Amino acid sequence: MTEEKKNGVMDKKVSRRNMLKMTGIGAAGIAIGASGMGGILSTFGKDFVAEDDDSTAKNKVNFYGKNQPGITTPAQSNIYFASLTVLVKTKEELQKLFKDWTPAAVKLMNGEKIAAQTNDMVPPPDTGEAKGMDAQNLTLTFGVGPSLFKKFDFGDKKPAELKNLPHFPKDQIEENYSHGDICIQACADDAQVAFHAIRNLVRIASGRVTMKWSQAGFNAVPMTDGKPGTPRNLFAFKDGTENPRGQADADKVVFAQSSETKSWLVGGSYLIARRIQMHLETWDRTALDEQEATFGRHRDSGAPIGKTGEFDAMEIDRKDEKGELVVPDTSHVFLAKSVKSRLLRRSFSYASGVIDSTGAHDAGLLFISFQKDPKQFIEIQNSLGRMDKMNEYITHRGSAVFACFPGVKKGSFIGEALFSTL
């Protein structure tokens, strides 16, 4: 506020910032507006309005479909994963949250601003850091955790299999990288586009959710003849070679069918997230043949030990001329293949600075898998157990499981079937 003397009277000129503070329209004041989001949410209107996938957008993945994007979508280069705590108290408010997110998610995946600026006297509805970028193959995937069903009474709609994972051998799970009421997975070919999406969705939900934990990650996705290959993790081995191929295989492994789950989750999947610290310094002092024996694959080709092609059959019972197993029975792949369960891996590397106590890299794998039942992951993880040679080089630090909704139909909203009785 500035002051000037006119005719002996102090005249107070109010700056725009001070006027906003006094009238409660500033950043703090906006939060008390409609639906817990004030002026920003009012841009979308009080009633739900469907947005269209823009078929003309560059590097665009469709939002609408049978299954949510970001599951069988080819892996992008970056992820920003967010686990949220819900603050609202009623199912009606929770439903409104997912309704508000739906048109914004479509716009973000179109590479558009979530809304146009209509009033310069309030904060921009879109934070703007993705301006000038196209859609960058952004996908947004939404899920709900076991804890959400403790906060809200959905009757018999909670699936019995939706519960926190058990403790596995060698686990050192930290709460600050575990669990959550809701998850949003944003994947894109640009890190800032992925972050921008989460930032704006959380901003839309201001006062209704808080961030519990998050993790940014990246992938090196090789391209051959314009087609993406299998990404490599920070141990330099390919990650995801055994993934399901095609929709029919995904329906067997990844997406819950009508006879297998609650009706609201048909076409959905379970997301399991594990933050796995990789002890890079120890790994870097390990001979290549020992590294390959740890994985059960050749590093450069990704082929099973003793074979040449990445997608050659593993055949863990193969023996050499001495009658010994070609693929060591303590290798990661051998133990994982010893059970019938399969899943879809969609993991990303992370590097989060330095561990103060040791000076080592705080780096590793944000392991993400999708399966129609968490039992698939549990069976594989139990098989790995204490025998897995990989345990010498990794520590599981975070753990979460979420039920990811089926895809959204045009005119509907995220998770509509869960709220069908409201």
**Residue ranges per structural domain of the chain:** 50-419
Q: How far is CA 208 from CA 22, 87, 90, in A?
A: 25, 5, 11
* Cβ contact 280:361 at 8 Å: yes
Q: How far is CA 225 from CA 69, 72, 78, 229, 231, in A?
A: 24, 20, 21, 10, 16
Say how many residues make up the chain.
422
Taking Cα atoms as reference points, which of 344, 316, 421 lies closest to residue 92?
421
**15 pLDDT more than 70:** no
DSSP state of 280: H
* Cβ contact 405:183 at 8 Å: no
User: How deeply is 7 buried, as exposed, middle or buried, from its count of CB atoms within 10 A (0-12, 13-18, 19+)?
Assistant: exposed
Asked whether the CA dihedral 113, 116, 120, 122 is positive or negative, the reply is negative
Q: Where are the beta strands (DSSP E) in 173-305?
A: 182-188, 209-218, 223-224, 227-228, 269-278
Strand 78-86 and strand 182-188: pairing?
antiparallel
Q: What is the pLDDT of residues 63-114, one digit of tens each?
A: 999 999 999 999 999 999 999 999 999 999 999 999 999 999 999 999 999 9
**361 pLDDT more than 90:** yes
Mean of pLDDT values over 188-204: 98
In this prediction the pTM is 0.89
**115 pLDDT more than 50:** yes
Question: Residue 40 — pLDDT band, cuts 50, 70, 90?
Answer: low
Determine which of 1-10, 96-105, 329-338 has the lowest per-residue pLDDT on average: 1-10
Residue 65: its pLDDT value, please? 97
Question: Residue 50 — pLDDT band, cuts 50, 70, 90?
Answer: confident
Any idea what the Cα angle at residue 244 is, between residues 240 and 249, rounded to 5°?
175
Question: Residue 220 — pLDDT band, cuts 50, 70, 90?
Answer: confident
Q: What is the pLDDT of residues 200-218, one digit of tens each?
A: 999 999 999 999 999 999 9
Nearest-10 crossing angle of helices 191-204, 91-109: 150
Share of the chain above pLDDT 90, in %: 82
Residue 223: its pLDDT value, please? 83
More confident residue, 305 or 34: 305
Question: Residue 8 — pLDDT band, cuts 50, 70, 90?
Answer: very low
Mean of pLDDT values over 232-256: 96
Q: What is the pLDDT of residues 174-185, one digit of tens each?
A: 999 999 999 999
Q: What is the mean pLDDT of the chain?
A: 90
